[in-house]
């Protein structure tokens, strides 16, 4: 019979219930520079013994641990915090040991309070301090040795008791606790990104629609639009694929499967005789023109994000040079993309499980590296959920080892667990279900999940009002108020959000068909001429919102979100806080009718005191109010303004 051997009985402390910890430490949590990591854990042992619990942390590549003493929260729960100061990944772990001196000190306090003789106890304490002196080095060792001698010498005097209970001696002993039998938790990781991964306003635009007089636009034409985008306060200009577009089976206007002469095709049908994923569509310009666009964008405070879509047109060089990278049908032809009954003959999916997969994966990884070498540091990745998880985990880690400031946005409109897995594997941000969350209950439920559960440790939502593929029913029917509602929700619920323009600010809302989310005369398949100077444009509203986002740290984080009770299901109220900064947003979700309700503020969530007046400035209208109570009646007419975004300050 096999006899189980006991573990080392001297290792008595248990560490469990560690938070944050993702899948038992399989994946890292995420932070950006300047953020903090607060770690909690259940730490305990049998009996009434006192513990010394420490949070250890260091940047990857360093050998010396930084130590933060954990504080008890009650019920055997402990907590400590450390700050992220560098861009390299961090490692953290927990260490806990029996603290005999702390237990002895607590017992001594009780004996003294009871009037007992404590000479023997002080001798016991002197031995504990002497043992610590032998472990310590430098000045600590000298001070502890002196304290041990004094405790033994002054065991019968009041001075001995005073020394035994002094905070200085307690701190010295805690710093030199015996760790030889300490319990150490496994190492956990923090993936660290630059600040733009946490917060940013994105603007999607087709460069080919920036040309004057209806001609095909170029990167130089796109540069003329930079001031327009910057004046609205955006941080990131996102470009759909800029590669050569195939001609075989080129789609026509309105996604017609048969193109006509002069049709320009979809930018996502990548590859032609002019090259593939590392080439530029000739009508847009040259690689030098692209680099010039990046420089000019930086002059306006904009970063350029590039779309990477791993699929090929039938004309892509890879089809000719590496046919083994594609799936073949029994007749020998390459399998084009399908989503029955829809057929996409202009796109060939790549076979990530090909026998030549290693060469394929390396080439795809090199696509990112090529554009990073040109200066691109933000990538929006098309449909990553249709590619192997293992590829993304390997590729992103490898790319980051060379370019630690790269940011990856996953365009993954898919099931929650798949979106979350991609985030764990390394994607910094992700598209999500926001476009289809319109009701108060579903917005509240969804954003509670994203910001107040363990999901927030690894998943950063990027909220898009619309995309070239998504024109929601709400935007189709909500009129101008509906567009403002979705803008306000996206820009204030999320630290990162985006719009597809100029379609959004120019209120483009006609679907191709009844019940469809595709645009009529979609820009995906034809050039568009946008009158960006139209008087009904939302550009000024967008600019006000983005100015508020830059001015308020609360709107630059997904943490600090709290929902407030408002007695009308058509009205939603929530706040974002960061330190002393607080922003309160109230939105009428009904874009057609005036709605009224009583608002009850959660003052604790806002960091406000009961009975203290609050001054509010509306970002959208610049109107100012003073509220004397946490209970207010709110009325919102969507034809006037469908939302309030209040910057809040306690009255002096």
Catalytic residues: 382, 411
Tokens of 130: 């002497």
In angstroms, rounded to a whole number, what is the distance separating the alpha carbons of residues 315 and 281?
13
Cβ contact 382:413 at 8 Å: no
Q: Tell me phi and psi for residue 636, to 5 degrees.
A: -130, 115
**3-class DSSP state for residue 252?**
coil
Tokens of 61: 């590549």
Q: How many helices (H) and strands (E) does the chain have?
A: 17, 30
CA nearest to 462, candidates 417, 425, 427: 427
Cα 606 to chain centroid distance, Å, stands at 22
Q: Residue 482: enclosing H or E segment and its boundaries?
A: helix 479-493
In angstroms, rounded to a whole number, what is the distance separating the alpha carbons of residues 219 and 583?
38
Q: Residue 551: enclosing H or E segment and its boundaries?
A: helix 539-551
CA nearest to 318, candidates 354, 353, 276: 276
Contacts of 515 (CB under 8 A, 6+ apart): none
In angstroms, rounded to a whole number, what is the distance separating the alpha carbons of residues 548 and 624?
15
Contacts of 339 (CB under 8 A, 6+ apart): none
Cβ contact 326:319 at 8 Å: yes
In angstroms, rounded to a whole number, what is the distance separating the alpha carbons of residues 362 and 151?
68
DSSP state letter for 463 = E
Number of C-beta neighbours around residue 567 at 10 A: 12
Cα distances (angstroms) measured from residue 524 to each of 205, 209, 513, 520: 11, 10, 16, 11
Side-chain-facing half-sphere of 614: CA atoms under 13 Å:
24
Angle (CA) 396 398 400, round 5° = 65
CA nearest to 643, candidates 507, 535, 497, 545: 545
Cα distances (angstroms) measured from residue 198 to each of 350, 413, 456, 497, 590: 32, 20, 11, 11, 30
Q: Long-range contacts: 159-163, Cβ < 8 Å, 24+?
A: 160/122, 161/108, 161/112, 161/118, 161/122
Tokens of 431: 């598209």
CA nearest to 169, candidates 150, 190, 154, 184: 150
Tokens of 283: 């009508």
Give the torsion sign (CA, 37, 38, 42, 43).
positive
Give the torsion sign (CA, 143, 184, 458, 40).
negative
Cβ contact 583:641 at 8 Å: no
Number of C-beta neighbours around residue 257 at 10 A: 13
Cβ contact 507:474 at 8 Å: no
């Amino acid at each position: 019979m096999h006899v189980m051997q006991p573990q080392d009985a001297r290792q008595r402390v248990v560490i469990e219930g560690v938070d944050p910890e993702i899948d038992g430490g399989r994946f890292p949590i995420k932070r950006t520079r300047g953020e903090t990591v607060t770690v909690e854990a259940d730490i305990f042992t049998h009996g009434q013994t006192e513990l010394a619990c420490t949070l250890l942390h260091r940047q990857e590549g360093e050998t010396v641990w930084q130590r933060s003493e954990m504080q008890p929260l009650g019920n055997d729960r402990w907590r400590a915090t450390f700050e992220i100061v560098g861009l390299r990944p961090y490692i953290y772990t927990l260490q806990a040991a029996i603290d005999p001196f702390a237990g002895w000190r607590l017992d001594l306090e009780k004996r003294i309070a009871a009037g007992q003789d404590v000479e023997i106890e002080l001798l016991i304490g002197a031995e504990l301090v002497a043992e610590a002196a032998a472990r310590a080095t430098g000045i600590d060792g000298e001070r502890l040795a002196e304290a041990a001698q004094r405790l033994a010498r002054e065991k019968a005097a009041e001075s001995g008791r005073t020394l035994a209970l002094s905070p200085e001696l307690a701190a010295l002993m805690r710093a030199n606790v015996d760790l030889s039998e300490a319990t150490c938790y496994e190492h956990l990781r923090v993936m660290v990104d630059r600040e733009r991964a946490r917060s940013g306003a994105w603007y999607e635009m087709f460069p080919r629609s920036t040309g004057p007089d209806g001609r095909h636009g170029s990167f130089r034409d796109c540069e003329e639009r930079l001031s327009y985008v910057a004046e609205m306060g955006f941080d990131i200009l996102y470009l759909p694929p800029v590669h050569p577009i195939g001609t075989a089976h080129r789609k026509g206007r309105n996604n017609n499967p048969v193109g006509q002469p002069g049709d320009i095709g979809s930018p996502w049908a990548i590859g032609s005789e002019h090259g593939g994923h590392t080439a530029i569509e000739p009508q847009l310009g040259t690689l030098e023109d692209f680099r010039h666009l990046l420089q000019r964008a930086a002059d306006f405070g904009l970063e350029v994000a590039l779309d990477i879509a791993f699929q090929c047109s039938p004309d892509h060089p890879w089809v000719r040079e590496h046919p083994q990278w594609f799936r073949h049908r029994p007749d020998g032809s390459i399998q084009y993309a399908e989503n029955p009954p829809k057929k996409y003959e202009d796109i060939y999916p790549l076979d990530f499980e090909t026998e030549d997969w290693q060469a394929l994966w390396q080439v795809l990884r090199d696509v990112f590296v090529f554009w990073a070498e040109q200066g691109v540091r933000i990538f929006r990745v098309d449909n990553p959920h249709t590619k192997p998880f293992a590829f993304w985990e390997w590729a992103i880690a490898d790319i980051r080892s060379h370019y630690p400031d790269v940011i990856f946005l996953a365009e993954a409109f898919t099931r929650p667990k798949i979106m979350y897995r991609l985030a764990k594997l390394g994607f910094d941000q992700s598209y999500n279900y926001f476009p289809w969350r319109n009701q108060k209950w579903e917005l509240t439920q969804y954003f509670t999940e994203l910001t107040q559960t363990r999901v927030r440790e690894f998943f950063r939502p990027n909220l898009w009002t619309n995309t070239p593929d998504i024109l929601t029913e709400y935007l189709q029917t909500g009129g101008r108020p509906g567009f403002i509602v979705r803008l306000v929700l996206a820009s204030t619920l999320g630290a990162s959000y985006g719009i597809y323009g100029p379609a959004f600010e120019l209120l483009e809302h006609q679907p191709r068909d009844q019940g469809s989310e595709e645009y009529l005369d979609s820009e995906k398949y034809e050039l568009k001429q946008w009158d960006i100077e139209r008087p009904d444009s939302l550009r000024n509203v967008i600019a006000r919102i983005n100015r508020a986002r830059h001015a308020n740290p609360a709107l630059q984080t997904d943490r600090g979100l709290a929902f407030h009770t408002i007695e009308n299901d058509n009205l939603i109220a929530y706040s974002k806080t960061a330190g002393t900064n607080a922003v309160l947003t109230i939105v009428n979700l009904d874009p057609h009718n005036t709605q009224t309700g009583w608002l009850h503020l959660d003052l604790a969530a806002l960091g406000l005191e009961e009975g203290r007046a609050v001054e509010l400035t509306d970002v959208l209208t610049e109107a100012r109010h003073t509220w004397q109570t946490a209970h207010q009646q709110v009325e919102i007419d969507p034809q006037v303004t469908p939302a309030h975004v209040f910057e809040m300050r306690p009255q002096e």
